[in-house]
Structure 1
Amino acid sequence: MKQNKIERIHSDSARTCKLCMEEMETLYEHLAMSTDEIDLLDMPKRSFTVHFPVRMDSGKVKMFIGHRVQYNDARGPTKGGIRYHPELTIEYLQDLAFLMSIKCALVNIPFGGAKGGIVVNTRELSRGELERVTRAYIREIADYIGPFKDIPAPDVYTDEQIMVWILDEFEKIRREHTPSIVTGKPVELGGSHVRKYSTSLGGVFILEEALRKLDIDRSELCVAIQGFGKVGSNVARILYEKGFTVCAVSDSKGGIYKPEGLDIKKVIDHKTGTGSVIDLPESQNITNEQLLALDCGILIPAALSNQIKRENVNDVKAKIILELANAPLTMEASRTLIDRSVLIIPDILANAGGVVVSYFEWIQNLSQDYWEEDKVLERLREKMITAFEKVHDICLEQNCSMRRAALQFAIQRILYAERLRGNL
């Protein structure tokens, strides 16, 4: 009964994938895909659940549930995050693993998509318990992961420390040094430069290229950013350093607005000191809803899904929306804004910088040749802009949205790999 309740609650979270999944349904018809092609894409190659005991600090043994989904490996070993969440279900992970397959194909890195995790509330665990749970999970799935099988990475409620525990446990099992088993590690243990802000920077590279294609002067635009966590604060910092006018930012407690532009360094210091961006001197407090409705040129949702929907879509005045959050727009809102000629740069493209730098980390681990920051920056920019140009060309040729073009391009790459392998 308890598990059924968890699944019902978590079904709400699955809306994160809904936008792309709804678009996929119409895309299948548009591409006149065969039943064999649809069946191949609709089913993960491998998904499994493990149950394992862990001794808690109290001395009692508790059973935990872990999942891993390896969706498609036609283009290379699967790649995807490990998340810890009390509402985690394998059905939701299947959707996320599918989207990882799409994202990797879109930016042309030789990975398929995967996703996994443990059904657990990390706030209820001590540090020692968290480590023991992580190591026990890896012992259960060790035969199914590896540098040329499936490479995990950080995700919701996991971080570089947890990646180090994964690395260490896997190396103990294999009795060999294998840094390429996992990405998202500290630089000192084989991690890559730029990784900590790669998602934000990849989005900025895309945004700059979009402005260049549209021949828009950045000085004429102000930027509003919803969300000031790792992704939101880094994109604000990067844009500020590049000379953009960031006029508004927000976090879960509210937002701040200054028409002539915020000093993002002061905002970061204020957030660090007080726990929120609100009440910054010489700025106006606003709500998250008011931020989304600002008369700004560029809106960057970098927080939760489903922030722009039927109820507030007509309040949105931005001309460009860069989706750094996962599915911040509902399908209905997205179509409404496209009809108003708003450029929406979809999440599967805009926030792909993270997996690109994960790929770079994997390459560096395999070769034991570690790159300086400038090389990572150059190669990330190249990957992101190349993907944007491919998608933009399809948009112009077919007069379609960037989301449709991105999905179409990625799907065709995956299917081509399957045909070459003789699976279609």
Structure 2
Amino acid sequence: MTDAARDLASFLTASPSPYHAVAEAVRRLSAAGFTEQREDEPWADGPGGRYLVRDGTILAWWQPASGPGAPLRIFAAHTDSPGFKVKPNPDVGVAGWRQVGVEVYGGALWNSWLDRDLGLAGRLALYDGRVVPVRVDRPLLRIPQLAIHLDRGVNQGLTLDPQRHLLPIWGLGDPDGGDLVEFLAVRVGEDPEDVAAHDLFTYDLTPPATLGRDDELLAAPRLDNLASVHAGISALLTAVERDPGTVPVFVGFDHEEIGSASATGAAGPLLETVLTRLAGGFDARHAVFARSRCLSVDVTHAAHPNHLDKHDPDHLSVPNRGPSLKVNAVQRYATDAPGAAAWKRTCRTADVPNQVFVSKNTVPCGSTVGPIMATRLGIRTVDVGIPVLSMHSARELCGVHDPGLLARAGVEFLTDAG
């Protein structure tokens, strides 16, 4: 495994929920000398590294000694991944089984979560205003499949009802005696009566691992999109060592997988507020934004060898051949020709191979935070990402070299003042 892939594996293991991903990013930024900028405190104008956290979203930037006016270079990703979120009243069950009520979060591949050992991670919100992180990193839940003897046609077509068929089991007995919240509160040393609400997600407990004859692939959960978050943090920490003539910014948004329309999502005002401050205020920001660029970084589809008919034959993305530029004629990706040229210049300077991904005309693509940021900010935005197989599965697959290549290109993007 490459050093970058090994470090990515550590980041993924530390980040079973958006809140844990943010905490791990803060740990790395703090170790590098970055300090927190709280939203409810005066803005720190002096030079140096800063980070700002709101729930599952994190922004980090390097403020130059020269003050406002330098062009902004923004590396944007997202911290959330598809899966299952625990319902407010979680304790359910039938026929002597204790189960947990969950909602589908994002466009998860439901079948990939069946018969896996699952943990729980997220946060508990207490009546006194405190928010306490929680993580159960042992087998706790399982979504059991129906035996083939009871569904002889399952291999000709699996149909799952998310209300009935995707409820995890977590024990035996009366559901009223399950009390998931009590179990979690005791685990983190809190009185269950003090817990007012929670944000909890299931996660696959299988650790990241290399795969293949030559260990050239990385199998892991949440590559979409923590692979990009990891690359962005790594790129920022390297970029600031160069004392660039830019203001390098990283943002990891929550809620991308469910549309970004939230206070902490890309459609919210948080990034715009911070960038306006960094540009020198509302009156100054137009000129600064005009010289700025955004890199929207989210994984893309690797060419699937068993389903090549789903891909454009002239725009195949293959692992370990570098990140892919993502292009779409109707702006599901925000890339245009000048932005593509800037990205290719970045890769050439960084000596990073790159590819181009375009969806097949009969297979519409998804979207990213890129078009949302471009619309909200008016800053030229380019969409890129490393190729992965099994996107939105509980466990995805990428090349071991691509995380490092993406981070290396990210450094050049953040420091390119041209």
Ranked by relative contact order (alpha carbons within 8 Å, sequence separation 6 or more), the top structure is 2
More helix by share: 1
User: What is the TM-score when the length of structure 1 is the normalising length?
Assistant: 0.27
More strand by share: 2
